Amino acid sequence: MTRQQFLRTLSTCATGFAAGRAQAQQATRQTFTYKTAGCEIRADIYGGSEGGPKPALMWIHGGALIFGNPKGIPPPFLAGLLEQAYPIVSIDNRLAPETKLPAIIDDVRDAWNWMRAQAGQLGIDRDHVASLVSMLPGG
């Protein structure tokens, strides 16, 4: 996927979200534990494993590192990405203040490495992965 294709897809999804036009389709979600660090840290996969490997998007929920979870993808935005046939890997991480910033960064890095290592099982192209930190309203 080229940078231009990626930006076009995000633009289409964001426009649908802002206009409230897109309806969330019934997305199949698989949940995996990608790390254990005193607790299980999970990732939700939407739209993976169907057909050959596809470029994927890693969703990092918003919440200023103190709240949020991987299930917080706005449904119209999720529907727009899935309509474009992009698998979404929505990761969780430990939260502050109980967890300090270096450990939170490690969680995100470990999720990225896990996603690339498990690419074949997840149906994603390990060499074409983009990340998006939630900047949407409520994110």
Tens digit of pLDDT for each residue in 86-115? 899 999 999 999 999 999 999 999 999 999
Instruction: Mark residue 40 as left, alpha or beta (left: phi above 0; alpha: psi -120 to 50; beta: remaining).
Output: beta
Q: Where are the domains of the chain?
A: 3-133
C-alpha span between 54 and 50 (Å, rounded): 9
Return the higher-pLDDT residue of 96 and 135: 96
CATH number for the segment(s) 3-133: 3.40.50.1820
Q: To the nearest whole number, what is the mean pLDDT of the chain?
A: 82
pLDDT-based confidence at residue 136 (cuts at 50, 70, 90):
very low
Helices vs. strands in the chain: H and E counts, helices first:
4, 5
Give this prediction's pTM.
0.79
